[in-house]
Every structure is written in C-alpha cells, then in structure tokens.
Amino acid sequence: MNIDIEALKAQYPLFNQLISMDELFWTNPNQEKFYTAIEKSPLTYEDVKQAEERLVRFAPYIAKVFPETAKMNGIIESPLVKIPSMKQSLEQDYRQSIGGELLLKCDSHLPISGSIKARGGIYEVLKHAEELAIQHQLLTIQDDYSVLDSDRFRAFFSQYSIAVGSTGNLGLSIGIIGAKLGFNVTVHMSADAKQWKKDLLRRKNVNVVEYEADYSKAVEDGRKLAEQDPTCYFIDDENSRDLFLGYAVAATRLKKQLAELAIKVDENHPLFVYLPCGVGGGPGGIGFGLKLIFQDNVHCFFAEPTHSPCMLLGLMTGLHNQISVQDVGIDNITDADGLAVGRPSGFVGKTIEPFLSGIYTVNDEHLYKLLKKLVDTESIHMEPSALAGIIGPVKLGNDGAEYLSKHRLSDKLKNGTHIVWGTGGNMVPEEIKKQYYQKGLDLT
Ligand SMILES: *Cc1c(COP(=O)(O)O)cnc(C)c1O
C-alpha cells in the first residue's frame, strides 16, 4: 500500500519517534468507557463462557494425554506470583517507585507448550476436533472426552489436516495438540522461528515448512495451500475468533487467582495489566476477557518491540491491517521472535480498540537486561518476547502521568496491582537459556 509518511508525521505527534524505533508510550485516544465499548463489540461474555465450558469438556482428555496437567484436572493454567525482589530491583534501577503490588502471570510455565499459545492455539484445535467428531456422530457433549485418546479417534482425525503460520510458539502449540489427537499438522514457520522449535515439532511428526520471509508471508502461503485442500483446516492467527476466545478464558481464571491472593480490584484498587503483543490475538483476547470482568477498573497496555510495533501503527493511524511496519521503513527485525510481526490482525485491532488503554514499545537490549534481572531476582527464566510486559509499570509511572490523572488514578496507584504477562520460555532448552542470560549480562 502507498503510505504518505509525511502526512502521518504531521498528523501523529509520536510518529517520528515510532519510525526512529525509539521506545515510546502511547495512550489510546479511542478508548471508551466499558459500557459503550461493549455495545460495539462483535464478541460477548457468552462467547467467552462457551469457550470456557468447552475447555472443561476436554479436561478429562487433556489430563489423560498430558499427565503434567493431571494435578489441575486437565485445566491448562499457569501460576500468578508476586515478584517483590524484581519490583525492588526495577525501582532501584529506574530510581522510581512503583506504586502498588507487582505480580507475574507465568504463561511461560503453561503446561504442554510453555507459552501463552497453549491457550488460544490449543483451544482452537480442540474446538475443531469436537466439531468434526460431533458432525460424524462419534461424540456428544455429554460424553467423557477421554475417549478421544483411542486408536479409533486417532484414525478418524488422521483423515484431516490442520495448517498454521507461526513465528514459533503458535506452531508448537498447534503441532503438539494436533499431532496428539491424530491430525496431520503442517506448520509454516517464519524466518524468526527458532531451530529448536522446528526440531521439536519434527520429532512429533509435524510437517514443518520453513520460510525466509517474515510471519505475514508464512501465514499467507499457509492459507493459500490450505485452501486447496478441503480436508485441511487453517488456523488463521490474523483473523481468528476462536483463538481470541481461547485466550479470553484466562480472565475468569485470573479472577479466581486474585481472589485466592486476597487482592481486590475495584474503583479504589485499580488493576494494570501489561501484555506482550505480536499479531494481537493473545493480548487482545486476554485484555478483552479482563475488561468483561473488571470493566473500567482494569487498564490494559500492550507491549511491542521497537522494531515490530505493528499494533501500535495500526491503531495510531486507524489503518489496522492496511498498514505494515515495513510500509513506514521499520525492519521488523527483533530477537523477540514471538512478537516479530509486521502487520497486525485487523479483527483484533478493531475489536480491542475501544477497550485498550495504550501501547508502549521496548528495545531488544532492554528485553535481555530484564531477562537477566528476572533470573537474578526471582529465579524465573523466560524468553526475550516474554519480558516486554515487565517494564510496563515503570513506563506507566514515567510516561503515563497524563493517563493516570485523566482517569483519576494518581492517588490510587499505591492501592493498585500490576500484572505483567510472562508469555513464554519454559520450553527453551537449557543451553539457549544460558545464552540469553549471557546476553543480558554482556549488556549490563
Ligand atoms: C505469540 C506470542 C505473544 C503475542 O501473542 P500474539 O497473539 O501474537 O499477539 C507474546 N509472547 C510470546 C512469547 C508469544 O509467543
């Protein structure tokens, strides 16, 4: 698309900073009160509830085939933990106090695939499997779904294939669950995808197609190939309602975890959530789910790499998926492979726009330093992408003063809670974890 860069510079004060790939903090001028935002929404609480119920139906199957989930009865969920030492270390480094408590949502430690994609990706495959099985009268929703762990069902699903385009983690999730059910799975991996992720999938008999281009191209080609095969179901990360809803289920679970920790969220106890964003489905779905529950008392911020600020570009300009970072001269090259996306999901951008508080960007060097700091202070290892959220409270304190005062939050910050979403990393091989840490050390 032909983009008039001069016009964008003139119209949007932060545009220069954006294309200079400097870190920035943007508040969303199109955010609305919850009650008006929800009226426009194509999705509702009912949709999220149905997704949650579907995951409950599958829980006996999940518990059986992934024994690591048995202690949670087949519910794929991650811990929510306080990280006071990290908080203290951030406060010292940035010479700034972070009002309120700092917690980490450890999606890095989600069972089965060790990233946030174990929510949306697995959900969409399960939904597809359920639909096929019900359509062919092999299953009813009253059944115990552990019957799916049988040669009969695997033979049935082996007549079908599933395809997906990915920077790595979505492919991992879909490949692992798809292969477990018996589907033929093809993952179209962008150039950013890490070798170990491809190797792991190949060991599970997943077809891995490698691209030298970025994520958007891997998705586009995957979509085209899938269209030619009527037995192939394409998981469309750029447009999927089901992925979005699978992510959104996180919110009802989080509500319970907050209650268990006796953490209040109400008008005087605001909740701030910081979510690393690639194409948008993960943070969009979770953010949407959280808004349904906590409404105007939750404030959701997305975090993107300075070299891949696709959602920010789409929302700032209102052009959504009609613009890519490459269109404005940004290279989309980042070590945060899970976030290396040049063009955002139009569906997610439009759906989340009235709910979202803002987006900030963070550079790779920062991600590595934060990675090291989290290991040093809390002994938690994550992958670089997953660290993008953790600087959020500092950014909000620094650059978010206007947002805080506009929403009358300046005095309430100290009673509030910050949750940073740690989106991946537990499956990273030890050797690579060491390299990541070393990189953080070299930069310090
Ligand atoms: C995919 C991913 C995200 C972001 O999710 P999107 O749906 O692409 O926006 C964040 N962190 C990690 C580690 C991921 O793999």
- Domains of the chain, start order: 5-113+244-443 (3.40.50.1100), 117-239 (3.40.50.1100)
> pLDDT tens digits, residue range 49-93?
999 999 999 999 999 999 999 999 999 999 999 999 999 999 999
Q: Which of 385, 420, 427 best tests ligand 1's pocket when mutated (most atoms within 8 Å of CB)?
A: 385
What three-state secondary structure class fits 421?
Answer: strand
CA distance 169 to 310: 18
135 CA to centre of ligand 1 in angstroms: 32
CB within 8 Å of 394: residues ≥ 6 apart: 90, 94, 96, 98
Supply the pLDDT for residue 112: 95
78 CA to centre of ligand 1 in angstroms: 16
- Going by pLDDT thresholds of 50, 70 and 90, the confidence category of residue 2 is confident
Closest-lying ligand 1 atom to the alpha carbon of residue 345: 9
Q: Long-range contacts: 253-257, Cβ < 8 Å, 24+?
A: 253/75, 253/77, 254/80, 254/105, 254/290, 254/419, 255/293, 255/294, 257/79, 257/80
Q: Is the CB of 163 under 6 A from ligand 1?
A: no
> pLDDT tens digits, residue range 318-329?
999 999 999 999
CB within 8 Å of 356: residues ≥ 6 apart: 28, 31, 287, 300, 301, 302, 315
For the cut 90, the answer to whether the pLDDT of residue 22 exceeds it is: yes
Q: Is the CB of 348 under 6 A from ligand 1?
A: no
Q: Is the CB of 404 under 6 A from ligand 1?
A: no
Residue nearest to atom 8 of ligand 1 (CA): 278
Closest-lying ligand 1 atom to the alpha carbon of residue 277: 9
State the residue for tokens 């792991």.
Answer: 200
Backbone phi and psi for residue 208, each to the nearest 5 degrees, phi listed first: -115, 120
125, amino acid identity: V
Q: Is the CB of 280 under 6 A from ligand 1?
A: yes
> pLDDT tens digits, residue range 198-228?
999 999 999 999 988 888 888 899 999 999 9
> pLDDT tens digits, residue range 356-397?
999 999 999 999 999 999 999 999 999 999 999 999 999 999
Q: Is the CB of 186 under 6 A from ligand 1?
A: no
Supply the pLDDT for residue 339: 96
278 CA to centre of ligand 1 in angstroms: 5
What value does the mean pLDDT take over residues 20-31? 98
Backbone phi and psi for residue 27, each to the nearest 5 degrees, phi listed first: -100, 145
Residue nearest to atom 14 of ligand 1 (CA): 338
Q: Is the CB of 420 under 6 A from ligand 1?
A: no
For the cut 70, the answer to whether the pLDDT of residue 335 exceeds it is: yes
Residue ranges with strand state E in 176-324:
184-189, 207-210, 232-235, 271-276, 298-305
Q: Is the CB of 283 under 6 A from ligand 1?
A: yes
CA distance 392 to 369: 14
For the cut 70, the answer to whether the pLDDT of residue 332 exceeds it is: yes
Q: How far, in Å, are 225, 316, 365 from residue 168 at the CA level?
A: 19, 27, 21
Residue nearest to atom 2 of ligand 1 (CA): 338
Q: Is the CB of 164 under 6 A from ligand 1?
A: no
Supply the pLDDT for residue 191: 87
| C-alpha dihedral (81, 258, 299, 252), degrees to nearest 10 | 110
109 CA to centre of ligand 1 in angstroms: 14
Taken in order 132, 134, 137, 140, the sign of the CA dihedral is positive
Supply the pLDDT for residue 1: 64
Residue 185 token pair = 């799975």
Q: Which of 104, 423, 426, 427 best tests ligand 1's pocket when mutated (most atoms within 8 Å of CB)?
A: 423
Supply the pLDDT for residue 229: 93
CA distance 101 to 92: 16
> pLDDT tens digits, residue range 85-125?
999 999 999 999 999 999 999 999 999 999 999 999 999 99
CA distance 290 to 18: 28
277 CA to centre of ligand 1 in angstroms: 6
313 CA to centre of ligand 1 in angstroms: 17
Q: Is the CB of 287 under 6 A from ligand 1?
A: no
3 CA to centre of ligand 1 in angstroms: 27
